[in-house]
């Protein structure tokens, strides 16, 4: 049990349940034909990242990969605005122009989600350098998948963070797959944290089926990063479903999936709460129902919300002060104008 005890586990259970239910509703939104684009990456099976997020301070920052919905929920994002973004609506986090894979919000410390594998990793080194130079006690955390651990940029970033003693944590969500390639067909050493140790980082491996362990280890790694020793957390879990919404995982067999899905931090936390008599099945069911209502409302909110107007096409696309591409703007406006 972690130092926050059973109350903390109950809180983490609720966060994880919110993530799972949010993802289930995103799936529903897709089936109803209401999502913008067809690429949706569910983080079901990865809910224990709530333990890392909980160990962060409110003012810390982070970047995510393409499978980042759960991280945003765990960091306090508003499910209505997230669902609206996924549906391509104007009141979404990025005015409906980013979609599922590109949610960003400085208010949440979210420096951006990135669909380029490994793309969000170097950003936290810049954030860490800025914190150090300004004398701030913040940490910046990069969340990414096991597939990104084969990208060269990770090693450049880890080396620089270690060399300059930056307040940075690299969090690798090892869900065993990069699209259809299992980790042991992509990495000679699947103990990914050992690579970080070789770079001089505080590298740890945690079990993504046990949110308490993830939280406890994350607190230690984050504390030490805050004091100038960057860290690496390798969280082992299992991607319960396909890579994206349309992938039925033909490259893995049912027996493997059944076994992999037993690594379920949500159900494990629930069992522990009942066993320790912190809660009972009826109370947890009613918490689940409340969460379901919240997420159902988010779906209805997103469906009712309005899409961004044509006049916002170039807003937030170019940095302030950059020359706007006049001819292209006129060209697109005329095409869209004709189409209407």
Q: Which residues sit at the interface with Mg ion, rule CB under 5 A? A: 145-146, 175, 177-178
Q: Which two tokens stand for residue 143?
A: 């969340």
- Contact mark string toward ligand TPP, 114..153, x via CB under 6 A: -xxx---------------------------xxxx-----
Alpha helices in the chain (DSSP H): 5-31, 49-55, 69-74, 79-86, 121-133, 152-163, 192-198, 211-226, 254-260, 265-275, 281-304, 326-339
> Of these, 1, 31, 163, 179, which contacts ligand TPP (CB under 6 A)?
179
d(CA 50, CA 75): 8
Coil, helix or strand at residue 144: strand
d(CA 210, CA 16): 12
In the block, tokens 């994002």 appear at 77
- 183 versus 225: smaller Cβ distance to Mg ion: 183
Residue 243 binding: pick among ligand TPP, Mg ion, none (C-beta 5-8 Å cut-off by kind): ligand TPP
# residues near ligand TPP by CB under 6 A = 17
- 6 versus 151: smaller Cβ distance to ligand TPP: 151
d(CA 99, CA 245): 14
Q: Do the Cβ atoms of 158 and 201 come closer than 8 Å?
A: yes
CB of 42 to ligand TPP, least distance (A): 10
Residues numbered 27 to 46 that lie near ligand TPP (CB under 6 A) are: 41
CA distances from 88 to 105, 109, 157, 168 (A): 16, 22, 33, 32
Asked if 67 interacts with ligand TPP (CB under 6 A), we say yes
Residue 179 binding: pick among ligand TPP, Mg ion, none (C-beta 5-8 Å cut-off by kind): ligand TPP
CB of 57 to Mg ion, least distance (A): 27
Kindly report the length of the chain: 340
Q: Do the Cβ atoms of 303 and 34 come closer than 8 Å?
A: yes
CB of 14 to ligand TPP, least distance (A): 24
Residue 17 binding: pick among Mg ion, ligand TPP, none (C-beta 5-8 Å cut-off by kind): none
CB of 211 to ligand TPP, least distance (A): 18
CB of 66 to ligand TPP, least distance (A): 6
Q: Give the chain's end-to-end CA distance (angstroms, integer).
A: 60
Residue 154 binding: pick among Mg ion, ligand TPP, none (C-beta 5-8 Å cut-off by kind): none
> Of these, 15, 21, 175, 279, which contacts ligand TPP (CB under 6 A)?
175
- 179 versus 336: smaller Cβ distance to ligand TPP: 179
Residue 212 binding: pick among ligand TPP, Mg ion, none (C-beta 5-8 Å cut-off by kind): none
Handedness of CA 96, 82, 26, 124 (dihedral sign): positive
- 178 versus 231: smaller Cβ distance to ligand TPP: 178
Q: Are strands 168-174 and 181-182 parallel, antiparallel or unpaired?
A: unpaired
d(CA 302, CA 113): 20
Residue 245 binding: pick among ligand TPP, Mg ion, none (C-beta 5-8 Å cut-off by kind): none
d(CA 56, CA 215): 10
CB of 82 to Mg ion, least distance (A): 21
Which residues here bind ligand TPP, judged by CB under 6 A?
Answer: 41, 65-67, 115-117, 145-148, 175, 177-179, 239, 243
């Amino acid at each position: 049990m972690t130092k926050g005890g059973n109350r903390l586990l109950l809180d983490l259970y609720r966060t994880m349940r919110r993530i799972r239910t949010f993802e289930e509703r995103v799936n529903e939104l897709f089936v109803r034909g209401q999502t913008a684009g067809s690429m949706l990456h569910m983080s079901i099976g990865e809910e224990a990242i709530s333990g890392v997020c909980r160990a962060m301070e409110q003012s810390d920052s982070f970047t995510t990969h393409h499978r980042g919905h759960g991280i945003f929920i765990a960091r306090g994002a508003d499910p209505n605005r997230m669902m609206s973004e996924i549906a391509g609506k104007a009141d979404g986090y990025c005015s409906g122009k980013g979609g599922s894979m590109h949610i960003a919000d400085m208010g949440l410390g979210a420096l951006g989600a990135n669909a380029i594998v490994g793309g969000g990793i170097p950003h936290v080194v810049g954030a860490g350098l800025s914190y150090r130079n300004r004398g701030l006690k913040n940490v910046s955390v990069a969340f990414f998948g096991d597939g990104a651990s084969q990208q060269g940029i990770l090693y450049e970033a880890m080396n620089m963070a270690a060399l300059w003693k930056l307040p940075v944590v690299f969090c690798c969500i090892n869900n065993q797959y990069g699209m259809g390639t299992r980790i042991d067909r992509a990495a000679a050493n699947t103990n990914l944290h050992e690579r970080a140790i070789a770079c001089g980082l505080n590298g740890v491996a945690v079990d993504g089926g046990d949110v308490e362990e993830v939280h406890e280890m994350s607190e230690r790694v984050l504390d030490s990063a805050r004091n100038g020793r960057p860290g690496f957390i390798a969280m082992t879990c299992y991607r319960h479903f396909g890579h994206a919404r349309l992938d039925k995982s033909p490259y893995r067999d049912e027996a493997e999936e059944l076994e992999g899905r037993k690594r379920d931090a949500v159900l494990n936390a629930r069992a522990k709460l009942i066993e320790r008599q912190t809660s009972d099945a009826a109370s947890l069911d009613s918490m689940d129902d409340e969460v379901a209502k919240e997420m159902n409302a988010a779906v209805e909110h997103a469906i009712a919300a309005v899409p961004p107007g044509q006049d916002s096409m170039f807003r937030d696309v170019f940095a302030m002060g950059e020359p706007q591409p006049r001819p292209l703007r006129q060209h697109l406006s005329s095409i869209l104008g004709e189409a209407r």
